[in-house]
Amino acid sequence: MFKKEKMLALTKLFLRLSIALIFSFNLISSPNSTILASETINLKDYIKDKFPSVIYNIYLASLDELDPYEKEFIDILQNLLEDTQRYYAKEVYNNDFTQELLEKVREEIIAEKSSAKLEEKANEKLPTVSKEIEPLPTRKDTRDTYLFEIIK
């Protein structure tokens, strides 16, 4: 009888530990699922006032609920020149969003920043040019006055 009580106690202990582990696992995984759910956001809300035209709502409509990569894509896209923005937005419209497209946009922003820095350095080294053109000094022609005096 002593063995039965010992086995029963061990079984109860095992069940309690199992329930505690399952409960703990649920608590740990539950906040992660809410974090993942909070990382997505509606496209229309996210791009509001970020682009010069509402056509971008149409071009990017396939994104719908944005994940972190799509948010990064839009954040980079808004800092590009308008022609470049339109090109990449059309790419999403025609071919959907891909990681490769995100990489291209990352490279594009790096290229634009470096060209802007080069242009800035070039402008620093150039001398400033005055827009006013000064007239050349004129020399009085003494021959005309001499002829005029002879005729008198």
pLDDT digits (tens, 9 = 90+) for 78-100: 999 899 999 999 999 999 999 99
CA nearest to 101, candidates 47, 46, 65, 63: 63
| Predicted pLDDT at 68 | 92
pLDDT tens digits, one per residue of 28-77: 655 444 344 456 688 888 888 888 888 998 999 999 889 999 999 999 99
CA nearest to 67, candidates 92, 96, 40, 33: 40
Contact yes or no for 107/115 (Cβ under 8 A) = no
Lowest mean pLDDT among 1-5, 13-17, 34-38, 60-64: 34-38
Q: State the maximum Cα–Cα separation within the chain, in Å, rounded to a whole number.
A: 155
Q: 54: number of CA atoms within 13 Å, CB side? A: 0
Contact yes or no for 79/110 (Cβ under 8 A) = no
pTM of the complete model: 0.54
Local confidence band at 10 (pLDDT 50, 70, 90 cut-offs): confident
**Domain parsing of the chain, residue ranges:** 41-122
Helix residue ranges per DSSP H, 40-152: 43-47, 55-59, 68-77, 82-95, 99-125, 142-151
